[in-house]
Structure 1
């Protein structure tokens, strides 16, 4: 029996997904619930599994292809059919299997050992990683192996092209002429040198997977919502001292405490005072939708790109609880193991340029939200306090908002409210449960 496994709707508003990596090939026999492919949706990378067992007879397309919801991802000849095929038959006519993207049978070859980042780079270069000889520990394929493979492949192509060109010129020279051989060799080595130079001077990386989805979402945000960014600096001297003390206590429980839990508590308090910032705009009905729950998105940089895991009901959690959840989500984000529900439903987002980042930035709104807060580097700076110049710990802060929903004056008040709680973090400790 032929079974078509169609791409299901696995997320809110999902219409299509990109095939990042096939984990199977045509002709493979798979078990039920076996992983078959990694796909990239608008939200995250997802590992798909087959609901049935049997022989894979067709794939939806090559890596990088896009499959729409409801279209076949793979075609499987189920186990019953495979068993029937193996048994003696009466040579009666059989219904042919549908073909999506039929490839010529390929000989079995060993699967390369390589890190996910190396596999990703191989896909970007169009290199079949199983063909690359690994020089790393245990035969592991490295980035250097990929570059060597590409250089050798291009050099071989250059030699072949030079040989074809010289073959045409040889028609007007005596057979076996030494000049012919010298010219062919010179042309080949010149071509190889040109290939080496081109490989080092320019590199093209396909815009695929998570990077492509990020680009699409950022463009939609900027071209849909009129962005305005306000900037300020915050005296976080008290916060630095309190965090340092509490971090020592939580370290005994192997809990890492960053400044982010304090930022979340300050933001959720401000959002309750200014509910227009915890909202979205329904463009179809021309209604501003105020959200009654506070789900805070945390922009997280990973090797694959920026993801935004969500802390739900953040206002109901203590500093300690937030620290634990942030660490768990961050670890899963870097392993690309976040579930779809952990990436959906945020009502407001916090982003950061990190300790080594700049003093200010202009964050892009995590559409369809209406505002995003950027927290920037904390630096020791001279400031005026009263009539004296003193050294304080100062942090840059940026707020980008959708000017269709929010005006500059309330944006300024919202920022000062967040700043108040960060400048007086002892007030936030009243939320401890």
Structure 2
């Protein structure tokens, strides 16, 4: 019997998802709850498991194609006699002249979940790996040796490095492509830039680091807290535009998105109710979210609902940039590298820690005056970190 598994709604009112990676192909044996595919939603890459055991009869789409919720993702042959019928249909496929079709039934792959994950990371089709483990089980070294063999063969047949080549825009990169295009086409964006002296913040951070029990106290932790305070005082930057009804909504909650670089592209995990968190709690949350973002372990609700976004490019050494708004938000803050530069204090020139900042805003609903007030409030908190104590959480 052939059972069809339809793409479920995996959250956030999903309408369709793009197939990023298939872990199985037609004819492969599968077990209930086995990972069969990775799909890209608007917010995250999600692994899908099969509810049935049997043999893959048909896949509902190829990698890079989109499948709507309720459409067949995969069909599974679940009865032995049905499996024989499928095999008989595939025993005489179209082959090139001089080649014989294989009647060998698909081999059941024995491998631990960690080994399967390693195979996916190395781009290895696990069913093609020769097992050396006990009972015909594939072990991690089998996957690594197979990957090295593929690399050696690829190098032998590779084209010169000067050749032009192409790659598909898919998965997370495709969503970034679509969102950034929409943002630039839809929103008239203006960027203001300024420098802020964070010398006292550097000292304050050093003192608090010694008191922290766990985790890392980064500059970004203080910046998030300062932004939360500034958003309280400048609620227009925490709003959303309702273009259809020509309304501007002021958001009650402050949920700050942290743009995070991953191997697949930029994702934005969200610190919910950031204004209610301490600096230490913010530091711990950022470390947890960024770690799980890079390992694709974030839940969909942790990638949605942001009201304001921070893009931190400090590690890359740039001092200014023009960040692009993350719709439906109306502003985004770019924080950049900290450099030792001359600063004026009490009419004297000293060397201090100076950070570049950029604020991009939706000029339809935010004016330059609003931007100046927001940046002024933000700079006050960063230049005088003792205000964090007086403000409390």
TM range (shorter): 0.7 to 0.9
Taking structure 2 as the reference length, the TM-score comes to: 0.84
Partner deviation per Cα, 1:98-118 (whole Å, 9 max, x = no partner): xxxx99988647789756554
Give secondary structure in 2 for the equivalent of 1:149. helix
1:247 aligns with 2:205: no
Contact 1:56 1:77 in 2 (8 A): yes
Rounded Cα–Cα distance in structure 2 between residues aligned with 1:375 and 1:129: 43
> Aligned residue for 1:332?
292
* Paired position in structure 1 for 2:318: 358
Written as runs of structure 1 = structure 2, the 5 A alignment for 1:118-137 is: 118-119=122-123
Q: Is the 8 A contact 1:132 1:146 kept in 2?
A: no
Is 1:201 the counterpart of 2:163? The answer is yes
Shift of 1:289: 1.3
Contact 1:243–1:257 (CA under 8 A) maintained in structure 2: yes
Aligned equivalent of 2:17: 17
Kept after mapping to 2: 8 A contact 1:350/1:373: yes
The normalised TM-score by structure 1 is 0.77
**2:56 equivalent to 1:56:** yes
1:6 and 2:6 matched: yes
Q: Is this contact kept in 1: 2:28–2:106, CA < 8 A?
A: no
Residue 268 of structure 1: how far off its partner (Å): 1.0
Q: Deviations over 1:106-157 (max 9, x none)?
A: 86477897565542xx8xxxxx687699xx9655169875554335456xxx
For 1:396 and 1:206, locate their aligned partners in 2 and report how far apart those are by CA, in whole Å.
35
Within 5 Å, give how 1:124-273 maps onto structure 2.
Answer: 138=142, 140=144, 148-153=152-157, 196-197=159-160, 199-250=161-212, 253-273=213-233
Distance in 1, Cα, partners of 2:229 & 2:351: 28
SS at match of 2:226: helix
Change beyond 3 A, Cα 1:86–1:382: closer
Looking at structure 2, the residues matched to 246 and 274 of structure 1 have their Cα atoms a distance apart, in angstroms, of 28
> Does structure 2 retain, via aligned residues, the 8 Å contact 1:20–1:38?
yes
Q: Offset at 1:290?
A: 1.1
C-alpha distance in 2, partners of 1:377/1:299?
16
Within the alignment, does 1:322 sit opposite 2:282 as a pair?
Answer: yes
Match of 1:400 among 355, 360, 364: 360
> CA separation in 2, counterparts of 1:400 and 1:141?
49
Give 2:90's aligned residue.
none
Q: Distance in 2 between matches of 1:115 and 1:405?
A: 49
Matched residue, 1:286: 246
The structure richer in helix per residue is 1
Per-residue deviation, 1:19 = 1.2
Equivalence for 1:308: 268
SS in 2 for 1:46: strand
Which SS does the other structure have where 1:299 is aligned?
strand
Instruction: Confirm or deny: 8 A CA contact 2:311 2:323 kept in the other structure.
Output: yes
Q: What root-mean-square deviation, in Å, do the aligned CA atoms of Structure 1 and Structure 2 show? A: 3.1
* In 1: Cα distance, 2:297 partner to 2:188 partner: 33
Deviation (angstroms), 1:356: 3.3
- Structure 2 gap segments, 5+ residues each: 87-92, 95-100, 131-139
Structure 2 residue aligned with 1:387, among 347, 359, 380?
347
Go from structure 1 to structure 2 and tell me whether the alpha carbon gap of 1:388 and 1:331 turns closer, same or farther (over 3 Å shift).
same
Contact 2:129 2:142 in 1 (8 A): no
The structure with the largest alpha-carbon Rg is 1
Matched, 1:341 2:301: yes
